[in-house]
Amino acid sequence: MTAATFDVVVIGAGPVGENVADRVVQGGLSVAIIESELVGGECSYWACMPTKALLRDAAALRAVRQLPGAAAAVTGTLDVNAVLTRRDQFASNWSDDGQVAWLNSAGITLVRGHGRISGPRTVTATAADGTVTTLTARHAVVVATGSSAALPAISGLTDVQPWTSREAASARTIPGRLAIIGGGVVGTEMATAYSALGSTVTLIARNGILPNVEPYAAEYVVESLTDSGVRVLAHASPTLVARDASGSVHITLDDGTVIDADELLVATGRKPNTDDLGLDEVGLPAGSWLSVDDTLRVTDASGTLVGDGWLYALGDVNRRALLTHQGKYQARAAGSVIVARALGAAVDDTPWGLHTATADKRAVPQVIFTDPEIATVGHTVATAAKAGLRVRSVEYNLGSVAGAALHADGYAGRAGLLINEDTNTVVGFTAVGPDVAELTHAATIAIAGEVPLDRLWHAVPAYPTISEVWLRLLETAAR
Ligand SMILES: Cc1cc2nc3c(=O)[nH]c(=O)nc-3n(C[C@H](O)[C@H](O)[C@H](O)COP(=O)(O)OP(=O)(O)OC[C@H]3O[C@@H](n4cnc5c(N)ncnc54)[C@H](O)[C@@H]3O)c2cc1C
């Protein structure tokens, strides 16, 4: 057993843990980071990077095929092995050497092992060989342990050894028939990827496809998946799953239909990595998502700070926005406020202040890399209504925008703004169409900046680009 004291102890070296550690070191504090698997976390090896690498070649091929001259140059089919090899490179071949080298260069102490809160400001790290290191934090302990795939209660499910997003992101071969349970972002992205890579895909969803985006955006994706041969069952519930002696999986649905597949991917949501984190030491139930205050300190169910405010939770584990960029934004806010509190400097916890993650509640950008892509920022009609905002919605057909029509023959897509009637500012943006991902940041700036519509009028989109849709949306709003 060894022991050491640092200013800050971070549990979990995913993108969020790495970022907060870097921030506090840059602020002059010492930091230890504990990691039980690979430094870099889910995003680097089993989520963002490998899944987007699986999708990228097919997207590029589709883009070329929408331009007759360029299409004439494409004579072959997708080279699946080349796609998988490039995917492997983007997952760093599941080696964290590069990220460990970065931790070292940044002055962050890495402790390999499973971290567990063992008392006030104290964490024990148990390495694979049983070695225990006790780490005490002078100022803060940060939980950045992320999330894992949650499996639904379906009879026989665990016996068939289903894929989760991890297996889908790292598969070495493409199954002939892939069934996917779950119509959210992971389910639709992987249906897009595996269909393009040669699998016959069945997508099974209980509550519709992409139920959290504007319905018009989801419709484009459903139509495209169907056109590319994916069987989409948008309102079906699996009741029984079994694998036979030949290795085939059979999924029985609530209406008696049986889907046969070679592999089954379950993409029905996430659970927090807090099962064995010592939450009982701070009076919280094991396995729970961690609630936080405006400066990302852990609170209990009544909103009261846990301990005297030494425990922070960032990234997926606080369930604010399960996205890498948003977790890293939280890390920047939390890193700064931890340093400020340690040095006795002023804390700016006002909305949009340096030490608060205000955008988590107002301006979260997300790109869904389906065919076509969906870009969203801030509210949808449904979430605005839930938040009690008085909004009006304007939409525009992207295919009628000159820049989009030039971008690809037969360009099809739609974009919409949600305008807060009381403030005359944009509070929500959605676009669906080829290559709309890059429209996201303009919307993020408009929403986070609370730019009034009459000032947005002066933000002139360059001609001829897909961004011209901004002008068309503003003209539509002015009518
Ligand atoms: C298939 C898929 C695709 C995705 N694609 C995107 C995308 O394109 N863009 C995007 O923004 N987001 C994407 N996400 C979400 C993104 O992966 C997560 O939001 C991000 O990884 C969260 O970062 P994190 O640091 O909070 O957690 P994680 O990345 O999960 O990292 C947590 C780390 O903590 C470690 N850990 C856990 N418990 C302990 C413990 N007790 N002791 C020590 N170490 C511990 C884990 O091993 C892990 O390394 C995707 C998610 C999935 C599943």
Residue nearest to atom 1 of ligand 1 (CA): 47
User: What tens digit of pLDDT does each residue of 395-417 get?
Assistant: 999 999 999 999 999 999 999 99
User: Quick one: pLDDT at residue 53?
Assistant: 98
**Pocket flag, ligand 1, residue 52 (CB < 6 Å):** yes
Under 8 Å between Cβ of 477 and 453: yes
User: Quick one: pLDDT at residue 1?
Assistant: 76
User: What tens digit of pLDDT does each residue of 429-462 get?
Assistant: 999 999 999 999 999 999 999 999 999 999 999 9
430: CB partners within 8 A, 6+ apart: 213, 214, 216, 217, 374, 375, 376, 380, 415, 416
User: Quick one: pLDDT at residue 168?
Assistant: 98
Mean pLDDT for the stretch of residues 356-362? 96
User: What tens digit of pLDDT does each residue of 91-126 get?
Assistant: 999 999 999 999 999 999 999 999 999 999 999 999
Q: Which atom of ligand 1 is nearest to the CA of 190?
A: 1
Q: Among 194, 323, 364, which residue has the most ligand 1 atoms within 8 Å of its CB, making it the best to mutate?
A: 323
262: CB partners within 8 A, 6+ apart: 175, 176, 177, 178, 247, 248, 249
Q: How far is the CA of 43 from the centre of ligand 1 (A)?
A: 5
Average pLDDT across the chain, whole number = 97
Both tokens assigned to 358 = 């205000």
Residue nearest to atom 20 of ligand 1 (CA): 324
Q: Which residues of 364-465 form beta strands (DSSP E)?
A: 365-368, 373-378, 391-397, 414-420, 425-433
User: What tens digit of pLDDT does each residue of 223-282 get?
Assistant: 999 999 999 999 999 999 999 999 999 999 999 999 999 999 999 999 999 999 999 999
**Pocket flag, ligand 1, residue 365 (CB < 6 Å):** no
Residue nearest to atom 45 of ligand 1 (CA): 12
**Pocket flag, ligand 1, residue 184 (CB < 6 Å):** no
Mean pLDDT for the stretch of residues 203-212? 97
Under 8 Å between Cβ of 393 and 420: no
**Pocket flag, ligand 1, residue 432 (CB < 6 Å):** no
- pLDDT of residue 419 exceeding 90, the answer is yes
User: What tens digit of pLDDT does each residue of 123-149 get?
Assistant: 999 999 999 999 999 999 999 999 999
Residue nearest to atom 24 of ligand 1 (CA): 146
- The helix (run of H) or strand (run of E) holding residue 213 is none
Residue nearest to atom 53 of ligand 1 (CA): 47
**Pocket flag, ligand 1, residue 18 (CB < 6 Å):** no
Residue nearest to atom 8 of ligand 1 (CA): 48
User: Quick one: pLDDT at residue 158?
Assistant: 96
Under 8 Å between Cβ of 312 and 331: no
User: Quick one: pLDDT at residue 182?
Assistant: 98
- 187: pLDDT confidence band, cut at 50, 70 and 90? very high
pLDDT-above-90 percentage for the chain: 99
- The helix (run of H) or strand (run of E) holding residue 282 is none
